[in-house]
Structure 1
Amino acid sequence: MTVPDLDLLLSGIVGSTAYGLAHEGSDVDRLGVFAAPTEALHGLHRPRESHVGTAPDRTLHEAAKWCRLALSGNPTAMELVWLPDELYEVRTPLGDELIGIRASFLGARRVRDAYLGYATQQFRRLVGRSEGPVAPGTRERTAKHARHLKRLCHQGLELYGTGRLTVRVEDPQEYRDFGERVAEDASAAQPLLRYYETAFDQTRSALPDRADEAPAEAWLLRVRAHFYAPEAALSR
């Protein structure tokens, strides 16, 4: 993907490679945060907030949008600031600041709702696919969605209970075996989902009830100040 003139603040490899679940032929997914020129935010037409492309597979969110996603508990956005160091490909001082305030984006209710909600969506896909006609690649897609269901449940409970997120799974083979069982019978995923729903109910969260927006707001103001070019604005 060619995206000109984007100021990347933080970017890294996410998805199955980051989780340790990649196999031969897996795509390498990248996620990043960029800053739009501050003066561009004040015109009649606001700049695009996201750029998504393939070859390579990469999703880039403008700084404010990424913050909104993270504050909502979005699991995909959240993993960017919890990656192992070796998976970062762009890491600027402002990106390091974002990693430094990652805990402030977390609120107990939104983390629970987001992670269990995404896992439930994966389960519905599994069931819906099992009830329809069998298309080429169905088994592989079902196993993949099952792995992600298990990962979302495990990571969500960890984040909810400890305030920390481990992106790389501890036992990849356990996830692969689970994916194969669910590919044989989609209903095999239901006990795991029910187990984690109960586990969330019985776990005392280490997180505050609500995320603290103040650090994100202060960080965004620093980003806007850094990328403000008044002479460029006046010359247009």
Structure 2
Amino acid sequence: MRTLLMGVVGSTAYGLATAESDEDLLGVYLADTREVLGLDGATVTSGSRVTTQPDVTMHELGKYCSLALKCNPTVTELLWLPEYRVETEAGRRLRALRGSFLSTEYVRSAYGGYALQQAKRLLGRHEAGKEGFSADTAKRTAKHGRHCLRLLLQAQQLLRTGELTLDVSAHRDDLFATGRLAAEHPEAFAARFEQEKATLDALDSVLPDHPDRAAVDGLVVALRVAALQG
């Protein structure tokens, strides 16, 4: 497995880590080109490798790019980290192309849609009569609540500027307060969420309507050919 790019993501990258937070690593690897060209090529290029202790998720280049072209928030953030544990020349080429993965449609649907899905799940938990949370459940609910808001704030920035700042520690107090609302006052959380979602929906976007799939495809082919020739 040739690691192209790997860095610390999640709460640590967001500036929202607590004493209980784990360190999460995310990366991209390049499968052997001969395996890609073989009968199992489709399986090889759609693969991921996940380990724990430490928590590491690695996506093969093909799978990573497919997810990133849809602006999947979890994988997109890898291209915008300020520093990396592993960064090869191929990884730098991938990062240099990060703007080509972005599009108005997918930022709205991926970031906004995922945040909306999670918010509905949190509110549904209350509506189902689970207000009497255990301390552990309340912590998880608060975490999910603040990450719902974080996604909306980051989506707003992407649409406004075409750039993504992962560190949202400047909003830390507000995000943690919103998380507490999710656990303790679901109606207030819903009102705050709907306000930010409406802001996102109303924003004009500087992003293109569609990602530059051809540019991404060209890089994937170039990296695979270089690996085969090397």
TM-score where L is the length of structure 1: 0.89
In the alignment, the residues of structure 2 paired with residue 187 and residue 207 of structure 1 have an alpha-carbon distance, to the nearest angstrom, of 33
Q: Within 1, Cα distance between the matches of 2:187 and 2:27?
A: 35
- State yes or no: 1:28 paired with 2:23: yes
Q: State the percentage of identical aligned residues.
A: 43
What amino acid is the match of 1:173? D
Between 1:134-143 and 1:57-66, the stretch displaced more is 134-143
1:129 maps onto 2:125 in alignment: yes
Normalization by structure 2: what TM-score? 0.92
Q: What is the letter of the counterpart of residue 54 of structure 1?
A: T
Whole-angstrom CA distance in 2 between matches of 1:181 and 1:193: 10
- In 2, the alpha carbon distance for the partners of 1:14 and 1:79 equals 7
Counterpart residue type for residue 26 of structure 1: S
1:115 aligns with 2:115: no
| Secondary structure at the counterpart of residue 129 of structure 1 | helix
Q: Find the counterpart in structure 1 of residue 35 from structure 2.
A: 40
Which amino acid in 2 is paired with 1:28? Answer: E
Q: Match of 2:6, SS? A: strand
* Whole-angstrom distance in 2 between the partners of 1:23 and 1:66: 28
Greater alpha carbon shift after TM alignment, 109-118 vs 195-204: 195-204
Structure 1 residue 181, shift from structure 2 partner: 2.0
> How far off is 1:55 after superposition?
0.7
Partner Cα separation in structure 2 for residue 172 and residue 200 of structure 1: 20
- The alpha-carbon distance between structure 1 residues 176 and 201, as it changes in their structure 2 partners (threshold 3 A), is closer
Whole-angstrom CA distance in 2 between matches of 1:54 and 1:196: 34
Question: Structure 2 counterpart of 1:205, which letter?
Answer: S
* Aligned AA (1:59): T
Does the 8 Å contact 1:115/1:152 carry over to 2? Answer: yes
Alignment of 1:8-157 (within 5 A): 8-45=3-40, 46-47=43-44, 49-85=47-83, 88-130=84-126, 131-133=128-130, 134=132, 136=134, 137-157=136-156
Aligned partner of residue 227 in structure 1, secondary structure: helix
Matches within 5 A, 1:150-189: 150-169=149-168, 170-189=170-189
Unaligned runs of 5+ in 2: none
Local SS of the residue matching 1:228? helix
Contact conserved, 1:82 with 1:166, CA < 8 A, in 2?
Answer: yes
For 2:70 and 2:180, locate their aligned partners in 1 and report how far apart those are by CA, in whole Å.
32
Distance in 1, Cα, partners of 2:20 & 2:34: 42
RMSD: 1.6
The aligned counterpart of 1:3 is: none
Tell me the matched-pair count: 223
The answer as to whether partners of 2:152 and 2:200 remain within 8 angstroms in 1 is: no
SS at match of 1:110: helix
Query: 1:185-219: CA deviations, max 9, x gaps?
Result: 22322222222332123211000111111221111
Moved more, 67-76 or 196-205: 196-205
CA distance in 1, matches of 2:129, 2:11: 26
Amino acid at match of 2:25: R
